[in-house]
Chains A and B, each alone.
Chain A
């Protein structure tokens, strides 16, 4: 495992959660890129989720850059969730606003 900042242990690798929401923050920075996004449930309650992924250097290889996402973008995020139930996870798959997909689910998983 080429690990980086050791957050892997915080996530449940036995399950994935898929959520659709609206981007509230896109952090293109070290140590890990992350996306914050609002998800509305059936009752209309909004929860702000976070999905982290690899560093900018690594994500650049997948064609990502600082303009990959912006606030207000509609996204579908599949993530390995936090073991302790906080609304955070490690990104497994992202359906971008234009419909194209970044699929990291067959890769290393969280770092």
Chain B
């Protein structure tokens, strides 16, 4: 167990410290879960039964679930070629992860969407404004706009890392469609590719005060032989979190690579 008796006095009060530690314990338990998408079977939150507006998703949330590789559909030859060229450090099936791979994250390339969503150790803040919803991601300190003003997806979008997103409500479900991805990001940890031809559909439903369920379908005929229905996931309300600045600094990343990651993972003699 943690020793709480004589912690440093960096935090302003014992109450704050206790809250932070409690949250930390929860987060680590979630991190330790061996499989993705199932870690919500934890003790019910005392605030789960508070009243809520199902069309109000604003607030700070933490993702708990998977963009897991477990149910990826068969790839096309072009998709398989890209997949084989991607060498992940994490998130791949047994034997695929390598100590020194070519994950774009390792050189601070943008994570792209939806991969940035999947890092549940870091919070996401949703802000709803007239005509748009904005997701702010602590991890890599980026944001994504979902246009809610009735516009259509562009027919020939300029490709970007995070794509172009529009949304509308179907009952109490927020349906977000996006395209315009540049095909350079990885769809998920594990080196799963997706192409410029990708369309992504996300469905968000706030099912209680503390929980938003997410389902997601990737349609990318260039890479996958059929639509990839991602394992259902959820986001948990995280009122004690604050948005911090988790930037990826290329110079810091290089120092870490040189001093820690590479010497810890390099094969003897290389």
Interface residues of A (CB under 8 A from B): 1-11, 27, 29-32, 34, 36, 50, 52, 54-58, 60-65, 67-68, 82, 84-86, 88-89, 96, 98-104, 106-109, 111
Contact = CB atoms under 8 A, between A and B. Distances in A.
Contacts of A62: 20-21, 24
B47 interface: no
24 contacts: A1-B32, A1-B36, A4-B119, A5-B105, A6-B88, A6-B101, A7-B261, A8-B90, A9-B98, A9-B99, A9-B265, A11-B264, A30-B247, A31-B248, A50-B264, A58-B122, A62-B21, A63-B20, A88-B260, A96-B8, A100-B5, A101-B3, A107-B31, A108-B32
Interface centre among B28, B33, B88 (most CB of A within 10 A): B28
Interface in B224-270: 244-249, 252-253, 255-256, 259-261, 263-268
A5 B249 CA distance: 13
Contacts of B90: 1, 3-6, 8-9, 111
Contacts of B21: 61-63
B221 interface: no
A6 B103 contact: yes
Given A5-B89, A30-B252, A63-B17, 4 more contacts: A1-B90, A7-B261, A55-B246, A108-B31
B11 interface: yes
Interface string B19-60: 011011001101111101000000000000000000000000
Interface residues of B, number: 58
Q: Closest 7 A-B residue pairs measured CB to CB?
A: A6-B89, A108-B31, A107-B28, A10-B265, A3-B90, A6-B90, A101-B3
Interface in B99-120: 99, 101, 103, 105-106, 119-120
A98 B244 contact: no
